[in-house]
Structure 1
Amino acid sequence: MKIESLTIKNYRVFQHVQLKHMPGLCVFVGANGSGKSTLFDFFGFLKDALTGNVRQALQKRGGFKEVVTRGHTDQPIKFSLQFRMEISGVERLVTYLLEICLKNNRPVITREVLRYKRGSYGSPYHFLDFRNGSGYAILNEEDFNKKDSELDREEQTLDSPDILAVKGLGQFQRFKAANGFRQLIENWHVSDFHINEARPSMDAGYAEHLSSRGDNTALVAQYLYEQHPDIFAQVLEKMKQRVPGVKDVKAVETDDGRIVLKFQDGSFKDPFIARYVSDGTIKMFAYLLLLHDPSPHPLLCVEEPENQLYPSLMPELAEEFRGYAESGGQVMVSSHSPDMLNSIHLDEIFWLRKKDGVTTIERAADNTLLASLIKGGDLPGALWKQGLFEGVDPR
């Protein structure tokens, strides 16, 4: 399932932004404070709202009045996502709408809709439609032999108007679109990687997927080594190619029952424990574990992957991101690196411009000047460095 389009209204600096025809790999550029982190936080917000509820997700970010665009506290926060998923053997474009208002000083979901077209013609049908905690879901949405008027509705009242309807209904396979969308959100990976958390040893355990903060790096390495040795061999080979001196990496269990990462340098007899190797080495190893996950995340958000990494590694990392997207996972990256951008297609680049406290997002390929220069042989990173992405130069 891939996100095709995204609309955000009144969420922090995004008074109204709309992204259409989103590719598998999206790279976002912009000056510091322009909203790149806020864009990724939008995905984190939806995941937090699904895990708990909308009130808790907002409170984690300071509350409704801190999240809503300044000067628009009397207006709703609105989201719209379009994504493709297979239903009854046909890939369909599904739309999810969410509207949140503040009522009696409490956030309330005033509208939540999940819809898609049942056939080639006509308007999208609402298979889930809730207002203020009450609404309906269609029980037999895959019965395409029936007319819209013949579908069976199940009326529902949620425990609270700040709970997402897809949270409850998405548990059941009979609500196909709701179930698919819930799985989509649950498996998003919004990276908040911290080098220092990837270094320490961990209690012996089990982890298939790298956590958002990277604090289970050693456990994931152990899992891949034991359960997917062919994939771990690929990771190790790429480490040898990209980090000078690295000969081997092992997740080793200590006498006191903890797991530590040990890096073998070809120049030394004894391996180094993770705390003694460079930030770049740890980060590259964690990224390779993430990007070679046997079960790719449907969405992977990574902020400024160039930090702590040598510039010459950016083209290879860009290709790793693209390969991940081609294998079934969508990738969104924010970056300031010209070396990264030089390996990205112009239609994969979006740039953010902030003016008077409000941010807009534009696709680089839609800019006539940039498209013309790229056609003439220039590279995106060089144009970025020259300040030709209008409105992003902090000077």
Structure 2
Amino acid sequence: MQIESIEIENYRVFRRAKLENLPRLVTLVGANGTGKSTLFDVFSFLKESLSQNVGRAVMRRGGLKELISRGSTGPLQISLKFRESGGRLATYEIAVGDRDGRIVVEREVLKFRRGQRGKPWHFVDFSCGKGTAITNESAYGDLGASEERAEYALDEPDILAIKGLGQFKEFRVVSEFRSLIESWQISDFHIAEARPSNEDGYSEHLSTRGDNVAQVAQYLYTYHRKQFDHILEVMASRVPGVEKVEAKPTEDGRLVLRFQDGSFKDPFIARYVSDGTIKIFAYLVLLHDPKPFPLLAVEEPENQLYPELLPELAEEFRAYARRGGQVFISTHSPDFLNALKLEEVYCLKKISGFTTISRAVDSENLRSLYEAGDLPGYLWKQGLFEGLNQ
């Protein structure tokens, strides 16, 4: 799945904002408080609404009054346009409000377009826990077919229909979309928790907080040795001072990582190396996952990292996106931006208390400077992104 556009209304600083023509690698820039973290929270909100329900996801954010944009009465609305695995354009829309003081899903629609001119089929169309769903999914590819629908009722009005119906095999399209959102990875990386240990066992994927990096390294070492060896090669070639990284299995089957610093005779066990070294190792473990997350969101990956590493890290993110995982990144680093294409950069700016979003490549001035050889990071540092939204 690749998200092509996102529309957000009445979600905190986003009274009405839209990201369009999204590439596989999307990078957000803007001053503090312009909503970069809030955009990532939109992804988290949708994921939590599935894993729990919409009411709980809203209450975790302080309630609807705190979540809806200041001065607005709602509803909160999110719309995603995306390409599913077969290449068809689809739209998912959700509107959240309250009825008699209770949080409800006022409208939820999942629709797929049929060709260039065909009328979309509404695979899901619900309001306040009741609605209809397609019952003849197998006929969707036949342009001469008509949709057949049946009525359904959910247990509560704050449950998403894609959650309720997505549990059943007969709703394959709905189930696939639900699984995609459940597989999103919104990183909340904490370096103190990411430091590898000698704990037993393994994990297939890095957690959102990075606290299982040793277990994922063990998994890659055991089942995907080629990827693991490549990670060690990258560490040794790119991290300043690190001449060699080796993985030593212990007698009881656990893995000990040892980092050789050129200034010292003996290597360091992983728990004694710098934060930056551990962080780049954790990112490489994440970005060389054999099964990329369909969506990966990472805030400010430059923190604790040596500036010269950032262009190469940006390329690692781009390679991950090419393998199938759409990537959203926020950054304040000119060094990171310098490794990007102008069409991969989106600028957030507050106007009258609310955020607007623009593509850097849509600015004629920025585009001409970029085509003349200036890099995005230098243009950002010079303040030339200012006024882009006006």
TM bucket, shorter chain: over 0.9
CA deviation vs aligned residue, 1:205-246 (integer Å, no higher than 9, x gap)? 220000010000100001000110100001000000111224
After TM superposition, list the pairs within 5 Å mapping 1:145-224 onto structure 2.
145=142, 147=144, 149=146, 151-199=147-195, 201=197, 203-224=199-220
Structure 2 partner of 1:281: 277
The one-letter amino acid of 2:148's match is D
1:324 CA drift (Å): 0.7
1-structure distance, mates of 2:136, 2:296: 32
User: Are 1:241 and 2:237 counterparts?
Assistant: yes
After TM superposition, list the pairs within 5 Å mapping 1:1-395 onto structure 2.
1-72=1-72, 74-86=73-85, 90-143=86-139, 144-145=141-142, 147=144, 149=146, 151-199=147-195, 201=197, 203-243=199-239, 244-250=241-247, 261-265=257-261, 267-390=263-386
SS in 1 for 2:117: coil
Distance 1:357 1:260, change over 3 A: farther
1-structure distance, mates of 2:161, 2:256: 42
SS in 1 for 2:279: helix
2-structure distance, mates of 1:300, 1:166: 21
Q: Which moves more between the two structures, 170-179 or 49-58?
A: 170-179
Structure 1: runs of 5+ lacking an equivalent: none
Root mean square deviation, CA, Å: 2.0
CA deviation vs aligned residue, 1:139-182 (integer Å, no higher than 9, x gap)? 21231447554x33232111111111111222334323212211
In the alignment, is the contact (CA less than 8 A) between 2:299 and 2:331 conserved in 1? yes
In the alignment, is the contact (CA less than 8 A) between 1:127 and 1:138 conserved in 2? yes
CA deviation vs aligned residue, 1:233-274 (integer Å, no higher than 9, x gap)? 01000000111224124376698x987654343554544233
In the alignment, is the contact (CA less than 8 A) between 2:235 and 2:242 conserved in 1? no
Q: Which moves more between the two structures, 272-281 or 296-305?
A: 272-281
Number of aligned residue pairs: 386
What's the TM-score once normalised by structure 2's chain length?
A: 0.94
The one-letter amino acid of 1:318's match is A
Structure 2: runs of 5+ lacking an equivalent: none
1-structure distance, mates of 2:56, 2:248: 37
What's the TM-score once normalised by structure 1's chain length?
A: 0.93
